[in-house]
Chain A
Amino acid sequence: MATLTDLCQSIVTGNVAQAKELTQALVDAGTAPLEIINDGLIAGMNIVGPRFKNGEMFVPEVLMSAKAMAVGMEIVKPLLSDTDMPSKGTIVLGTVKGDLHDIGKNLVGMMLEGSGFKVVDLGIDIAPEKFVEAIKEHNPQIVAMSALLTTTMPAMKDTIDLIKEEGLKVKCIVGGAPVSQGFADEIGADGYAPDAASAAELCTKLVG
């Protein structure tokens, strides 16, 4: 008999096939979908997070756990109405105009998804107008921008300025190797995160 503890464990070990099987088995056995999510899938990620933070787990392992959780979610989702579906919120993410570095941004995106956000990844070299367009389309709570070049950091300010000019209600956060808390304050961002795990924490705090 599949148990919620087993499911939780399969998330922690990043066993995608097993997570899928166990979630299906639990659904078939009549376990409540919300229980599967909270006490199985999210419970697993709640163990993964701290383990990553203290260095017991590594990035590829965390990403595999997130994948295992997502597979479970896919099975449970159709059983819940949109309003019942626990989602922390939507985040629009992108590397700013003129900048093609995307490894850090991708990592941030995966971590955000892993911690329960819906992420709309716009990609690289995203102009302020494109961010604004995406905000209008997806109605996110947060816009997260990444820049790795000192020459493209000003594009973060341009984007925030345009968002304000358009009167859009959304929190803006920034990150990337050359970006600092000081710079974030200077350009009027709502937050800065030095790495992907802290970006997830920051977003959780901002929507909470």
Chain B
Amino acid sequence: MQRYQILTQNEIEKIHETSLRILEEVGVVFSYAPAREILAKGGAKVDGQRVYFPPAMVEEALKKAPSSFKLHARDPQKDVVIDTKTTTYVGPYGSPYVIDLDKGRRESTLEDFINITKLEYMMDNIDVMSHIPCEPNDIPAEKRAAEMCYLTLKYSDKPLMGSVLGYENAKKNIEMAALVFGGVDVIKEKPVIISIPCTLTPLSYDDKMAGAIIAYAEYRQPQLINSLCIAGATTPATVAGTVALQNAEILAGIVLAQLVSEGTPIVYSASSSNAEMRYGTLSIGSPEDAVFSLVNGQLAKYYNLPCRISGALSDSKCCDTQAAYESAVTLTMAQMAGGNFILHAAGIIDGYATTSYEKMMIDDEIIGMLRRIDRGVTVNEDTLAFDVIKEVGPQGEFLSHEHTFMHFRSEFYQPVLSDRQNADQWEKNGALTAEQRANARWKKMLEEYVEPKLDKDIDAALIKLKDS
């Protein structure tokens, strides 16, 4: 639920109008010819690779995308509704490195991919599997998309994300997911795989991403049309200017998806942040990142679309205090902003380049705390507890009262990692820091992991399709 509005409605409208002007007067480059053809047929003006969008065409497309859809899981109990009110938390995405307390930072491998996939599955706070929780660098690049999709389906029965590396990879991932749910015809009315095609900022889409948008739309599978701008580098240094440009990029992608298939589910997805001008690098643990989240949340609501915001973000190079405070601030703001699909909600450090095993656990705790905050307060006769207060009276105690017994579990969040014992107990139990406890916790989770059942024939068919 959106709890924080940083701009007025009038300011949001000004951003929207500027985005429309950018789309109409500056245009967006689509290098992928099939995308240009679709857009031209839909009413856009095409000049070379550059596509110019009349405002009416954009407004029309925006009306067609639904504001709510259900993403189906292998285990129906884990189906997720993605709308403009609830919050879905998703794991880390895309990191080529991993780090843990035992082995330090290293290029991630298939083993790490499987481990973090299992952790995502084990963590109650993670609702959707993130497709690339880290890159399995030891798998040949051309086989990776299908391999990751298969392994995610095998090791988890939660809903999943899929590949965006071009039309063909996307199509194969969709067909693999469809296999589990009864075929491609069934999934057209029943979304089972969600993706994140990304703009090539500023103001362009490359072949792969435009191809992925078309593929997911053809099968009517949901997609997060995403823009990651770096304010001061790929876009203006001003928040307003960056948002106007970023919004134009996203709207262009939404138009393409809706032209391919009207009503195909979209998540408005923005993850812009600012450049660290000391080095010219991207900064994601910054207060500006949080400001962008708040604006993006409002824009998505303005369009009545579900909204993706990231995440538990940090620029720190390991799972330390900086990682924790940056993540707490950015994730809190993502939720306050009304984020409905929070990607990178756990594990990310190093400006998206590294996934930390321990930070998966730290962020699990932050998500738990935020979920509690989001639940808010129930006010009724029972919770106001006048009778109980009267009964206990002055100088009494509530700890042993039945009312406490009945309510404490639902009212209080039970930490999974934080230490709240007294100092003596803490010392007796080894005087472990949060990082050390996190290290123990992920190892325990991996030990306790049990693979969810997958029908033998489906498994065989999946392997066949994967290797085809």
Contacts and interface: CB of A to CB of B under 8 A. Distances in A.
A151 B233 CA distance: 24
Given A60-B232, A100-B200, A196-B280, 6 more contacts: A59-B279, A103-B234, A150-B96, A150-B135, A151-B144, A177-B353
* Interface majority SS (helix, strand, loop, mixed), chain B: loop
Interface in A156-208: 177-178, 195-196
Given A100-B206, A150-B96, A178-B96, A107 B353 contact: no
30 contacts: A55-B278, A58-B277, A58-B278, A59-B275, A59-B277, A59-B278, A59-B279, A59-B280, A60-B232, A60-B237, A60-B277, A100-B200, A100-B206, A103-B230, A103-B233, A103-B234, A103-B280, A103-B282, A104-B280, A104-B281, A107-B280, A149-B96, A150-B96, A150-B107, A150-B137, A151-B135, A151-B144, A177-B353, A196-B279, A196-B280
A178 B278 contact: no
Interface of B: 96-97, 107, 135, 137, 141, 144, 200, 206, 230, 232-234, 237, 275, 277-282, 353
Nearest to A56: B278
A58 B237 CA distance: 13
B141 A151 contact: yes
Lowest 7 A-B CB distances belong to which pairs?
A: A58-B277, A151-B141, A150-B96, A59-B280, A107-B280, A59-B277, A103-B233
A178 B105 CA distance: 12
Interface residues of A, number: 15
A149 B353 CA distance: 10
Contacts of B200: 100
A206 B233 CA distance: 29
Contacts of A104: 280-281
Contacts of A100: 200, 206
A151 B280 CA distance: 23
B371 to A, nearest CB: 33
Nearest to A152: B141
Contacts of A60: 232, 237, 277
Contacts of B137: 150
A178 B95 CA distance: 10
Contact of B279 (A149, A151, A195): A195
A103 B234 CA distance: 7
A100 B282 CA distance: 16
Nearest to B353: A177
Nearest to A111: B280
Nearest to A150: B96
Contacts of A151: 135, 141, 144
Nearest to A108: B280
B348 to A, nearest CB: 14
A29 B140 CA distance: 65
Contacts of B282: 103
Contacts of A195: 279
Interface in A51-107: 55, 58-60, 100, 103-104, 107
